[in-house]
């Protein structure tokens, strides 16, 4: 997980996930409220009253169920899909933003399906600055051409 970023010039928030082994990045557009919930969890901010994801974490704890992992499972027509897998074997479909916000609160791993990373992942080569700059420029061009409506 890299974090929440704001795409310019539209000021739309994206979550940027990084695959540890290959270094590929997966940008996922999210809503402002979800971006705030993710950023709060990353920064360790404890709100005076529980946010929805905090409440869900507390309910799961009270029921004795843990989150095993969160998986970004599909990308269909520009829309990302996710699954929350629980310790009791149950899996629940979720928006990636909600699944990520919950995973951060319970310290569960976040995994991306290989086909999703192949379709939407961006590779940046740390060892090759010129290649990395080229990839960053391609990503910027992609961001300039895409809008959140493309992912609805």
Measured distance CA(129)–CA(134) in Å, rounded: 9
Q: Which 8-state DSSP code applies to residue 122?
A: B
Query: What pLDDT is recorded for position 30?
Result: 92
Query: Any idea which residue has 């310790």 for tokens?
Result: 87
Query: What pLDDT is recorded for position 142?
Result: 57
pTM of the model: 0.78
Query: What pLDDT is recorded for position 92?
Result: 98
Stretches where the chain sits below pLDDT 50 are 127-129, 132, 151
Domains and CATH numbers, the chain: 3-151 (3.10.690.10)
Task: Tell me: cis bond preceding 52? Omega within 30 of 0 counts.
Answer: no
**Could you tell me if 51 and 37 are in contact, meaning their C-beta atoms sit under 8 angstroms apart?**
yes
Measured distance CA(30)–CA(38) in Å, rounded: 10
**Could you tell me if 13 and 30 are in contact, meaning their C-beta atoms sit under 8 angstroms apart?**
yes
Measured distance CA(84)–CA(96) in Å, rounded: 9
**Could you tell me if 13 and 2 are in contact, meaning their C-beta atoms sit under 8 angstroms apart?**
no
């Amino acid at each position: 997980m890299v974090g929440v970023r704001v795409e310019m010039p539209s000021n739309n928030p994206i979550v940027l996930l990084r695959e540890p082994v290959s270094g590929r990045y997966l940008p996922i557009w999210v809503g402002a409220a979800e971006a705030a919930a993710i950023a709060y969890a990353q920064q360790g901010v404890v709100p005076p009253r529980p946010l929805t994801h905090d409440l869900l974490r507390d309910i799961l704890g009270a029921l004795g169920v843990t989150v095993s992992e969160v998986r970004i499972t599909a990308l269909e027509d520009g829309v990302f899909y996710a699954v929350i897998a629980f310790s009791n074997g149950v899996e629940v479909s979720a928006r990636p933003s909600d699944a990520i916000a919950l995973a951060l609160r319970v310290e569960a791993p976040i995994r991306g399906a290989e086909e999703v990373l192949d379709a939407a992942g961006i590779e940046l080569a740390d060892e090759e600055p010129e290649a990395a700059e080229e990839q960053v420029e391609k990503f910027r061009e992609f961001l300039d051409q895409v809008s959140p409506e493309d992912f609805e």
